[in-house]
């Protein structure tokens, strides 16, 4: 997952609104969002290589999402799958903040990551690149492959657009449209994460397109004050071609 926008108690009728793009190699096997047969409470896509997920929610309103922290100099061979951080929370019952505290104690077992988890106790964030478990106040948040609200171009540009979109009657297609931006940032605005200028340019777009790697899915998720959950996912193949779409609506228990 390479871009997440979150509105946390920033819309009167919707305590949580999420828009997210997952970027990955097209060759990595992936299942679209569904309620998991082996964990029927969990609605999420699935990485079929490591069995985890990048984003999901449960019928009991446990939410989790993860992004990688991009630093080519600090990749760990043999590190544990970061997708397990989300799936273990979604499958479990531990409250959000203690869960992140437990994750922090084993954080060195993973390559760099950013993790959101939420439940009835609030929305929390943790990265093993700054080591602090944070309870998030109401507001609009943006996360790519650095720390929360790091002003990378796609984060800085899309946060206000996302904020404006959720002021209107919520429309999943409006969120999808924001996340479909393929514009590349100017070189002067690019971060240096050790992957080289050409790849920094490619990855600067909100919606990444190339022959081998790119945005595999876009998700629009909302939780209403009435506990109604709406989850829309669009799946993409090489060159950003739309290859599938799923939509779920349910009332949380």
Over residues 167-215, the pLDDT tens digits come to 878 999 999 999 999 999 999 999 999 999 999 999 999 999 999 999 9
Distance (Å, whole) CA 67 – CA 122? 20
- Cβ within 8 Å of residue 88, ≥6 positions away: none
The predicted model gives 76-93 an average pLDDT of 87
Provide the residue range defining the domain that includes 241. 3-251
Contact 54, 30 (CB under 8 A): no
Q: For residue 126, give the CATH number of its domain.
A: 3.60.60.10
Which neighbouring-strand residues pair with 20? 4, 219
Nearest to 50, CA basis, from 90, 4, 87: 87
The tokens for 65 are 């999402």
CA 73 to the chain's CA centroid: 23
Residue range 6-32, pLDDT digits in tens: 999 999 899 999 999 999 999 999 999
Interval 223-243: pLDDT, tens: 999 999 999 999 999 999 999
The total domain count for the chain is 1
């Amino acid at each position: 997952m390479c871009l997440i926008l979150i509105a946390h108690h920033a819309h009167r009728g919707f305590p949580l609104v999420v828009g997210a793009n997952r970027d990955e190699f097209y060759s990595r096997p992936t299942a679209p969002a569904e309620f998991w047969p082996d964990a029927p409470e969990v609605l999420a896509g699935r990485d079929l290589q490591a069995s985890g997920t990048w984003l999901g929610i449960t019928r009991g309103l446990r939410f989790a999402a993860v992004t990688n922290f991009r630093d080519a100099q600090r990749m760990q061979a043999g590190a544990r799958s970061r997708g397990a951080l989300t799936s273990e929370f979604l499958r479990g019952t531990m409250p959000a903040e203690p869960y992140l505290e437990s994750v922090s104690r084993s954080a060195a077992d993973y390559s760099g990551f950013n993790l959101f988890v939420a439940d009835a106790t609030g929305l929390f964030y943790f990265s093993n690149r700054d080591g602090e478990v944070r309870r998030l106040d109401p507001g609009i948040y943006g996360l790519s492959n650095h720390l929360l609200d790091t002003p990378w171009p796609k984060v800085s540009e899309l946060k206000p657009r996302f904020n404006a979109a959720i002021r209107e009657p919520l429309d999943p297609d409006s969120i999808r449209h924001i996340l479909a931006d393929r514009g590349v940032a100017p070189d002067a605005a690019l971060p240096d994460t050790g992957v080289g200028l050409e790849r920094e340019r490619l990855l600067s777009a909100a919606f990444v397109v190339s022959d081998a790697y790119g945005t595999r899915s876009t998700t629009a998720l909302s939780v209403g004050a009435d506990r109604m959950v709406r989850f829309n996912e669009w799946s993409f193949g090489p060159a950003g071609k739309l290859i599938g779409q799923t939509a779920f609506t349910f009332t949380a228990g």
